[in-house]
Structure 1
Amino acid sequence: MNSPETATHRSAERVLADLGELRPELHRTYRTLHAAPELSMREYETARLIESHLDRLGIPTFRCATTGVVGVIENGPGPVVAFRADIDGLPVAERTGLEYASTVSGTLPDGTETAVMHACGHDTHTAALLTSATLLAGTRDVWAGTVVLVFQPGEETAAGAAGMITDGLWESAPRPEVLLGQHVTPGSAGSVRYRTGVSASISDSWQVTMFGRGAHGSQPHTAIDPIVQVAHTITRIQSITAREVDPLDSAVVTVGRMSGGTKENVIPDSAMFTVNVRTLDEAQRSGVLTALRRVIDAEAAASGAPEPLITELSTFPALVNDEVVTERAMGALRRFRESCDVEPGRLLMGSEDFGLLGDSIDVPYCYWFIGGDDPAKRARAEADGTASTEFPSNHSPLFAPVLEPTLSRMVEAAVVGMLTFLRTG
């Protein structure tokens, strides 16, 4: 009798047999998505593209959280496995020079017009899962069970997973026994990195508005300058990680935006900045956020200014991979593609709302990372010690994964991951 591992391996070979034939379509889908990114929770055309693709395959779909799309492949008795791909872009002006580079724009919630780019690779996630759906739908004799395809909006703002849960995702879709997902990242194209336990950080983002008293630039003594407050605050909060966090722990405090005033000789009556905090556990999170609020309030008090206004923009939970699920999925992928580099990786200070989908129904999950850099160039850069500066990171206007083997490996990983927990053989 075949072992479960052997059955998964043979089933994966059969399901993926047509990947080479589908590769041109995979690339076309990716380019189409890359050229037309949409901002978080406004992925209207992207959702329609996904629905059209799944409809051609005869896969029933339903909407969730307005622009989220869920497809369900029911294929007889067996386990239920869910796989998530995020679909939103970022307010970034693309500078990759690609022939299919984005030139579109969008409107932020505050009404600001902005360029939009798939600067985090969500287009690769979506294209790979659509191709995986094509392969699974065409080989129903190879596996049994139910696959739930979750195309999630709004990952970049942490609104998407929470929105789908609130909108009844797990009341409308079959409840999965395991949840899987993946993300493209800097690294040799096609290489796979994963961790068990905490795999991505907690993230909190605030908008901080500091107030003062406006005046003419020639009469600063009549003003309370909020720009000076913001400048001192931004400088001071960097000391939180340097002087209040144990050097053996990890925390990040980043100011990503600041604005204030309208003219060089006008002292405004308010100024603002946004701050992002990354921590790895709830105790550390509480300590850093408490220190951050203390510094903000103290700088305002030092200026004799009114109390600042702190608005929470987003909160991401820690992503905690289940050990058993992760070892099974990654072990299966390693056996399937022995030439593929599948290894435990470093803890990432990036954040994900993926875990909410599983945590909300107490379902174990695994989330892994696939490299997207040219392998030969990456190897040379790592040998020279220049990899961190030569290859753009996610959210860079230059971020552009090489199509292959990145996309094919993502399809393979998704298919093998799902077959690991479905009924095969």
Structure 2
Amino acid sequence: MTTHISADLSQAIRAHAEQTLETIGSLYRQLHQHPELPFQEHQTSAHLADALEAVARDTPGMEVTRGVGGTGVVALIRNGEGPTVMLRGDMDALPIKEDTGVEFASTDTADTDGGSVPLMHACGHDLHSSCIVGAATVMAAMRDQWQGTLMLICQPAEEIFGGAKAMLEDGLYRRFARPDIVLGQHNMPALAGNVGHIAGRAMAAASNLAITIHGAGGHGSMPAHTIDPVVIAAHVVTRLQTIVSREVPPEETAVVTVGRLHAGTQANIIPHHAELDINIRSFDNDLHRQLIEAIERIVRAECDAGRCPCPPDIRVINDTIALYNDTGLVERLRRAHGEHFGQDALYDMHRLNGSEDFPLFGDAKAGGFGGDDIPCAYWFIGATPAERWAATPGITVADKMRHLEMPHSPHYFPGNPVTLRTGIEALVSGAVACLD
């Protein structure tokens, strides 16, 4: 059954969201000021679990579990017979120095293998997880308005495509519940208070590959006595450009980017090896596998042509599948969000070449949980204050967004109160629309 978001129900959602905004705003500022890297979200997850446990103390049928998949947090609100709906938010940060100028900007750092790095919530995951707590608070206060089980996820390590896999491998669906529907959202530099939807292929599959080409180094004055991995790497980089131009059908979209090429220490030394890091994106999982196969074929062929003493090392650092938003579910959510926020607050989101590990929660094979796939939908909440939006050139949402800071920018800040409230209410209205 699909619940209609009546005027009375919408008013109740707004009222309960308003009551929790001060508490959730304080939680958000705490998380924003002290970001943590993927799988290091120890304090972040503790703050989120504490906040959810505070809700659970006054909510019969609610339980909270820490340490799922490392630092993940799972909360269940069991409220009678009915479907199980999962709401997912992520919580990891990025190695970026914040330059937003907000009072509670991060000045934290972390030690990594490459040395100390600055930390920032430049993608708004602090906002997402705060909205999860806000949604839990509102849904707990409105238990007489819905039936079923609400499953709330604070997920680690989205930025490295590791958290969803870690939670699923830790028995997320076996230990807690297997959802009937999985819902998620992300902030974008659209108008704050607006909600964007896209059905079907919405976000790209992505893979990051690390490649080592083995040569035989020596003196730069005697190249005939060496096997130069720099020259071989240069041919690889050039040849890789033909994959998209000559192997991908024109109607498809794909990206193959060599983001890092490192070899040698000084001009008169031919090094023993060259290293490449390659990023791949596409919107079709079968095509994506073909891209990886093409890269492996080209790298090996160039190494053979260059007389490498041994085959190249090719390793997938991390990857995720394309996000496919269930068409029927998107229409249900679009209707619910339209009933709650008003049709004027909705916009059509364009397809994004960015990537997420969110779709692993719905794809039975890729997620490793077996059985049928689970319908998923992922929408977008605007994060640009009205005054800034009005002053931004462009007519369409896509036009204006080209002139605004995007996630992963040191200047990007989505945490205004309108976006926080919208994120909470979008999760609640979406969940209620999918529960009995």
TM-score scaled by structure 1? 0.90
Work out whether 1:140 is the aligned partner of 2:151: no
Report deviation, 1:368. Answer: 0.7
The Cα offsets for residues 336-370 of structure 1, whole Å up to 9 and x where unpaired, read as: 11165213322212222112112235321211112
Work out whether 1:162 is the aligned partner of 2:165: yes
From the superposition, tell whether residues 312 and 44 of structure 1 become closer, same or farther in structure 2 (CA, over 3 Å): same
Q: 2: distance between equivalents of 1:4 and 1:386?
A: 35
Report deviation, 1:264. Answer: 4.9
The letter for the 2-side match of 1:199 is A
What's the counterpart of residue 242 of structure 1?
Answer: 245
The letter for the 2-side match of 1:42 is Q
The Cα offsets for residues 291-325 of structure 1, whole Å up to 9 and x where unpaired, read as: 22233223333433242211111121121111222
Q: 2: distance between equivalents of 1:146 and 1:163?
A: 23
The letter for the 1-side match of 2:425 is E
Q: Give identity over the alignment, percent.
A: 37
Contact 1:181 1:368 in 2 (8 A): yes
What's the counterpart of residue 345 of structure 1?
Answer: 349
Q: 1: distance between equivalents of 2:429 and 2:291?
A: 40
SS at match of 1:256: strand
From the superposition, tell whether residues 244 and 375 of structure 1 become closer, same or farther in structure 2 (CA, over 3 Å): farther
The letter for the 1-side match of 2:262 is S
Q: 2: distance between equivalents of 1:40 and 1:296?
A: 30
Contact 2:285 2:321 in 1 (8 A): no
Q: 1: distance between equivalents of 2:174 and 2:420?
A: 32
What's the counterpart of residue 393 of structure 2?
Answer: 382
Q: 2: distance between equivalents of 1:125 and 1:365?
A: 17
- State how 1:187-202 maps to structure 2 within 5 Å: 187-202=190-205
Work out whether 1:204 is the aligned partner of 2:188: no
Q: 1: distance between equivalents of 2:3 and 2:171?
A: 34
Contact 2:5 2:339 in 1 (8 A): no
Contact 1:11 1:419 in 2 (8 A): no
Equivalent position to 1:83, from 73, 77, 87? 87
- State how 1:167-316 maps to structure 2 within 5 Å: 167-305=170-308, 306-316=310-320
The letter for the 2-side match of 1:30 is Y
Q: 1: distance between equivalents of 2:115 and 2:300?
A: 28
Report deviation, 1:21. Answer: 3.6
Q: 1: distance between equivalents of 2:261 and 2:108?
A: 25
What's the counterpart of residue 419 of structure 2?
Answer: 406
The answer to which of 328-337 and 391-400 deviates more is 391-400
The answer to which of 376-385 and 122-131 deviates more is 376-385
From the superposition, tell whether residues 170 and 191 of structure 1 become closer, same or farther in structure 2 (CA, over 3 Å): same
Q: 2: distance between equivalents of 1:73 and 1:344?
A: 32
Q: 2: distance between equivalents of 1:333 and 1:389?
A: 25
Q: 1: distance between equivalents of 2:357 and 2:392?
A: 32
The Cα offsets for residues 17-63 of structure 1, whole Å up to 9 and x where unpaired, read as: 03334323332222211222212122111111111101111242113
Q: How many residues align?
A: 419
What's the counterpart of residue 127 of structure 1?
Answer: 130
The letter for the 2-side match of 1:418 is A
Contact 2:132 2:153 in 1 (8 A): no
Equivalent position to 2:434, from 417, 421, 424? 421
From the superposition, tell whether residues 260 and 155 of structure 1 become closer, same or farther in structure 2 (CA, over 3 Å): same
Q: 1: distance between equivalents of 2:42 and 2:277?
A: 28
From the superposition, tell whether residues 381 and 304 of structure 1 become closer, same or farther in structure 2 (CA, over 3 Å): farther
The letter for the 2-side match of 1:79 is P
Equivalent position to 2:70, from 62, 66, 71? 66
Q: 2: distance between equivalents of 1:387 and 1:217?
A: 51
The Cα offsets for residues 354-399 of structure 1, whole Å up to 9 and x where unpaired, read as: 1211223532121111222233433443328974553222222332
TM-score scaled by structure 2? 0.88
Report deviation, 1:420. Answer: 0.7
Report deviation, 1:402. Answer: 4.8
Contact 1:14 1:142 in 2 (8 A): no
Which runs of no fewer than 5 residues in structure 1 stay unpaired?
none
Q: 2: distance between equivalents of 1:338 and 1:262?
A: 60
The Cα offsets for residues 232-258 of structure 1, whole Å up to 9 and x where unpaired, read as: 423432332233322321111122333
Superposition CA RMSD, Å: 2.4
Contact 2:181 2:374 in 1 (8 A): yes
Q: 1: distance between equivalents of 2:102 and 2:266?
A: 38
Report deviation, 1:126. Answer: 0.6
The letter for the 1-side match of 2:4 is E
Equivalent position to 1:11, from 9, 15, 21? 9
Equivalent position to 1:26, from 24, 27, 47? 24
